[in-house]
Structure 1
Amino acid sequence: MNFRGFSIPLLSLVLFLTLLQGLPLLAETPEEKGLRIAQLNESKNDGFKGEYAEMVMVLINAHGDKVERKMTTKTRETNDDGDQSISVFLWPADVKGTKMLTWTHKDDDDDQWLYMPALKRVKRISSRNKSGAFMGSEFAYEDLGSQEVEKYHHKFIEETTLDGREIWKMERVPTSKKSGYSKQITYVDKEYHQPLRIEYFDRKGDLMKIATFRDYREMGDFWRVHEIDMDNVQTKKRSIITWSTREIGKKYSEYDFESDSLVN
């Protein structure tokens, strides 16, 4: 007997091979699936070349008092390593001209430099200080670089929803012993391939802070967040970054991201 051109033995073989092809995915460990999803998300965000952004960062203390700071950021995508970025504070006067340069690496600790105009010199940030607060905010220095897949051990938890969006819930553990976090729980949007929420746990394993990512906008082939709310549940302090401008596809030279360029 034939079934639309297939003999019964041949049809059985086709069905067997189809099922066999699906076995590796069915047999994935949570760690393997977590790594595969993390690599997928990273690949979906490759190719933007460069980005320019203007934003406002608001610091809110435990009493609700606010301090506002304006800044710009340039980001350069590299071919063989992590992204490079430079942030410049424009306002208020006490931080105006302060610059921070970050070279993110896939396998090694990031390189970071801070230029303080009052001192007129560039200070290299020690990898031991990555967990320190960036300019008094709830964002740590290690939060500011690109989140390369190789910097974490990944583990898939579940597929679920958050605020009506389909997401992957994942755990990632920093590979660096100098990290200020024992682990992070990420809620990654399946369409944006970007996080909607990240929960950060301190070295003791206690929940330290929660980042909420809002107002994603489609920019060509990419989705970009326009507000991040970092809420420190231990200190009751918050820091909110809001983007007014984001432009991708920018072209920058390597010199723009050299530490010597910070003094110019």
Structure 2
Amino acid sequence: MLFRFLLIALLSLTVLPASAQPAIEKGTAIAEEAASRNSGWGDLSVSGEMILTAGGASSTRRFDAQWVETGRGASRSLIVFRWPGDIQGTALLTHGYAGRNDDQWLWLPSLSKVRRISSSGRSGSFVGSEFAYEDMTDQEIGKFTHTWVQDGACPGGGTCHIVDRRPRTASGYSLQRVWFDTSNLTIRQVQYYDRRGAHVKTLAISGYRQYQGRFWRASRMVMQNHLTGKATTLTWSGYRFNAGVNPNALSPNALSRIR
């Protein structure tokens, strides 16, 4: 009798209310469909600019990036800064996995050193920008739970599915609220909430273009920090799919050979 009572009590704590289940099912379905539409691209290379803005001042950096799919929900990426001289050669390598924390390494040419980014360090600023290291990873769906909130207006027009995704793995965020465009399931906006539940940053994504008749990629991402007033803009250009990116070249041992 005691065992049965404890079992019922445990189930009452773990089973979600019936009213919450449809929202979770719908949110999960939206996220899964968006991920499905954005898989199978193989590999790509792209050029970019990072513009840091604080008050009335701004500074610009230029970089090249490569991505390659290595399995279901898994990928590798490499971002290498090319200009200006004080950051030239600095590189971020990410190995992304399905359902668990990614591995990240930072190559610092001035120190001739590869630094592994720890789990606690993933919430830190990526090269002084408003993007955290974890923002530079693929937001693989297995790392989150997804709950549909409502359908509403997209920033800039149109209709969006608004979905809350909560991290299952180590994160500097307690919640990310995501706006998926209902027409193509591209992400138009993400609001980031810290571990205390405060809305700290907003990412606006725009300038989408479709490649190979299937894959949507943005040309502009603006991360606004509501605590500091600072912003970082990433602009992307020259997307090349099936560029022949070798996943074996995207390894920690290869970082010191970057030119």
| Length-normalised TM-score, structure 1 | 0.87
Quote the Cα distance in structure 2 between the aligned partners of 1:231 and 1:35.
27
CA contact (8 A) 2:99 2:141 kept: no
4+ residue runs over 3 A deviation:
none
User: Structure 1 vs Structure 2: percent identity of aligned residues?
Assistant: 33
2:157 counterpart of 1:164: yes
2:92 counterpart of 1:100: yes
Matched with 1:67 is: 59
Residues 144 and 119 of structure 1: CA distance in aligned 2, closer, same or farther (over 3 Å):
same
Per the alignment, in what secondary structure is the counterpart of residue 173 of structure 2?
coil
2:47 counterpart of 1:54: yes
2:117 counterpart of 1:122: no
Post-superposition offset of 1:241 = 0.4
CA contact (8 A) 1:113 1:122 kept: yes
Give the residue type in structure 2 aligned to 1:204.
Answer: R
Give the residue type in structure 1 aligned to 2:141.
Answer: V
Per the alignment, in what secondary structure is the counterpart of residue 86 of structure 2?
coil
Quote the Cα distance in structure 1 between the aligned partners of 2:20 and 2:233.
41
Per the alignment, in what secondary structure is the counterpart of residue 255 of structure 1?
helix
Quote the Cα distance in structure 1 between the aligned partners of 2:210 and 2:202.
24
Matched with 2:185 is: 193
Quote the Cα distance in structure 2 between the aligned partners of 1:50 and 1:169.
29
Matched with 1:223 is: 216
CA contact (8 A) 2:64 2:81 kept: yes
2:41 counterpart of 1:42: no
Quote the Cα distance in structure 2 between the aligned partners of 1:81 and 1:259.
21
- In structure 1, runs of 5+ residues without a counterpart are 1-25
Post-superposition offset of 1:109 = 1.1
Matched with 2:10 is: none
Alignment of 1:106-185 (within 5 A): 106-162=98-154, 163-176=156-169, 178-185=170-177
Q: Which moves more between the two structures, 228-237 or 245-254?
A: 245-254
Post-superposition offset of 1:192 = 3.0
Give the residue type in structure 1 aligned to 2:227.
Answer: Q
Quote the Cα distance in structure 2 between the aligned partners of 1:81 and 1:44.
12
Give the residue type in structure 2 aligned to 1:165.
Answer: G
- In structure 2, runs of 5+ residues without a counterpart are 1-18
